[in-house]
Amino acid sequence: MDKNSIFGNPTKTYHVLDLSYIDSAYLRDFRMKLGYTQSAFAIVLGVTKKSIEKWEQGVYPVSDPIRRLIYLMDKLPEVKEKLYPYK
């Protein structure tokens, strides 16, 4: 099954962002750029601190939904403000 039939329109082509650059090092650097601890970042992303640790250590790959959220937080600063409004 191709992507076009999944979305129900065989005449359109859909392009998915390539977010593979958001890896363990990028995640750690992004968190540090924001000034978040692993615990605070876990709250923002809705995951456990242990998940943050495992991703940053490269034990587990960063999941696609988290990559998308990181992308949005980076491109739209108001997203991070809404997710974690504390200074």
Which domains can be identified in the chain, with CATH numbers?
Answer: 20-83 (1.10.260.40)
At residue 87, does pLDDT exceed 80?
no
Q: How far, rounded to the nearest angstrom, does the alpha carbon of residue 2 sit from its chain's CA centroid?
A: 25
Query: What confidence score (pLDDT) does residue 82 get?
Result: 83
For residue 51, the Cα-to-chain-centroid distance in whole angstroms is 12
What pTM was computed for the model?
Answer: 0.76
Provide the pLDDT for residue 51. 97
Give me the pLDDT at residue 5, please. 58
- Pairwise CA distance, residues 86 & 84, whole Å: 6
| Residue pair 67/26 in contact by the 8 Å Cβ criterion | no
Question: What pLDDT, in 10s, does the model give residues 39-82?
Answer: 999 998 999 999 999 999 999 999 999 999 999 999 998 887 88
Q: Which of 87, 43, 35 is nearest to 69 (CA)?
A: 43
Lowest mean pLDDT among 3-7, 20-24, 46-50, 60-64: 3-7
Higher pLDDT, 81 or 33: 33
